[in-house]
Amino acid sequence: MTDIDKPVDVRKGEELDTKKVAEFLKDNIAGLEGDVSILQFPSGHSNLTYSVKIGERELVLRKPPAGKKAKTAHDMSREYKILTALKNAFPYVPETFVYNDDPSIIGTSFYVMERLNGLILRKDLPGDFLLSKDGVTKFCHKFVDVFCNLHAIDYKAVGLEDFGKPEGYVKRQVKGWSRRYRDAKTDDAPDFEKVMEWLHEKMPLDIYSPAIIHNDYKFDNVVLNPSNPVEITGVLDWEMATLGDPLMDLGGTLAYWIDHDDSEEQQLIRMLPTNAPGMFTRKELIECYVEKTGRQIEVIDFYYCFGLFKLAVIAQQIYFRYYHGQTKDERFRMFIFAVQILEKTALKVIEQSDL
């Protein structure tokens, strides 16, 4: 498979002190011996992810980016905690080894986990993708299965009862992400005020069955078995995970899901192969989730619109860092256009909604 993630040279300005990292890891993880090399995974737009190879063993190090960040964003301790707690209940998380909050090592907190090798889907299906159209549909079912399995976990039984505050979750999310957008707004960004006003007016009441939610569940955060791409072997990027309304999690997934017949503008910001032959449509994804969970979804327009808005906030926060010279990653230059298109898409959802 050609889309197995491979690390590359570390981007300028994001280098780590190899000697300090090696000393720390050898002191805290048993059995590490040999020369050390550090590379960086080029994908991803938020936390920075590195390959740390010591002798024949490869580990993964995760750390926050530089620059302005939301107060609760990029919390390495939370990400480390949920991965460690979920390992026995949810076999798709990588094993964790050590967490560090001493900035003298690399300047920030970080944690280290196992490397999950496998296929990760990006914008388009790779040319040597092994699945037929029917196989792609089966993969979509498996994708939803894993999602539903996460939402079905008893969070108290795995020791995560203090991981979040489910009461008032939706209200806090709407208020919090609205504040984050305003804080990260640049002169060339749309104001999103109509969208934020609508979300405040239409937010549903608290649900009675909160769950562990990933908050960024999408194709390029799942790892597939290259020999059998229907099989999901891992779920990555848990930095926004918490306890809350699982339908907010579903709305976030829908925001990334571009159907094959969506507008040309939406196609321009498509990041995943959700338009490929055999893929679910958003409607089919919702129906599959409802069938597998038994949850009723009466206000899906709200959840989908909020998902689009949250995605826009994330893109704008990243663009803010580029706009103000806090990162030199040229991928972020075009994010402002994604923010503009996401506002148009959210406004269209509002216009067509019966809420």
Per-residue tokens: 354: 């019966």
**Averaged pLDDT, 273-290:** 97
**C-alpha 16 chain-centroid distance:** 24
pLDDT tens-digit readout, 146-164 = 999 999 999 999 999 999 9
Q: How far apart are CA 36 and CA 273, in angstroms?
A: 36
pLDDT tens-digit readout, 165-186 = 999 999 999 999 999 999 999 9
Mean pLDDT, the chain, rounded, equals: 93
> Is the model more confident about 267 or about 296?
267
Q: How far apart are CA 197 and CA 90, in angstroms?
A: 37
Q: For residue 266, what are the CA distances in angstroms to 64, 272, 335, 343, 353?
A: 29, 12, 13, 11, 19
Q: What is the pLDDT of residue 330?
A: 86
Residue 109 pLDDT > 90, yes or no? yes
Q: What is the DSSP string of 57-99?
A: EEEEEEEPPSS---TTTT-HHHHHHHHHHHTTT-TTSPPEEEE
Q: What is the pLDDT of residue 1?
A: 43
Neighbour count for residue 231 (Cβ, 10 Å): 14
Domain ranges of the chain: 18-114, 133-352
pLDDT tens-digit readout, 59-85 = 999 999 864 444 445 589 999 999 999
Q: How far apart are CA 338 and CA 47, in angstroms?
A: 20
Phi-psi region of 351 (alpha: psi -120 to 50; beta: other; left: phi over 0): alpha
Cα distance from N-terminal residue to C-terminal residue, the chain: 45
Residue 41 pLDDT > 70, yes or no? yes
Q: What is the pLDDT of residue 324?
A: 93
Q: What is the pLDDT of residue 2?
A: 47
Q: What is the pLDDT of residue 68?
A: 45
Q: How far apart are CA 355 and CA 350, in angstroms?
A: 8
> Is the model more confident about 4 or about 325?
325
> CATH number of 133-352: 3.40.50.12780, 3.40.50.300, 3.50.50.60, 3.90.1200.10?
3.90.1200.10
Amino acid at 306: F
96 strand-pairing partners = 113
- φ, ψ for residue 5, nearest 5 deg: -60, 130
**Averaged pLDDT, 227-240:** 94
> Is the model more confident about 316 or about 46?
316
Residue 208 pLDDT > 90, yes or no? no
Of all residues in the chain, the percent with pLDDT exceeding 70 is 95
Per-residue tokens: 238: 């848990």
Q: What is the dihedral of CA 101, 104, 110, 115, to 10 degrees?
A: -140
Per-residue tokens: 138: 């089966």
**Burial readout 120-149 (b: 16 or more C-beta within 10 A, e: otherwise):** bbeeebbeebebeeeebbebbeebbebbbe
Q: What is the pLDDT of residue 3?
A: 54
Residue 4 pLDDT > 90, yes or no? no
> CATH number of 18-114: 3.50.30.50, 1.10.10.10, 3.30.200.20, 3.10.180.10?
3.30.200.20
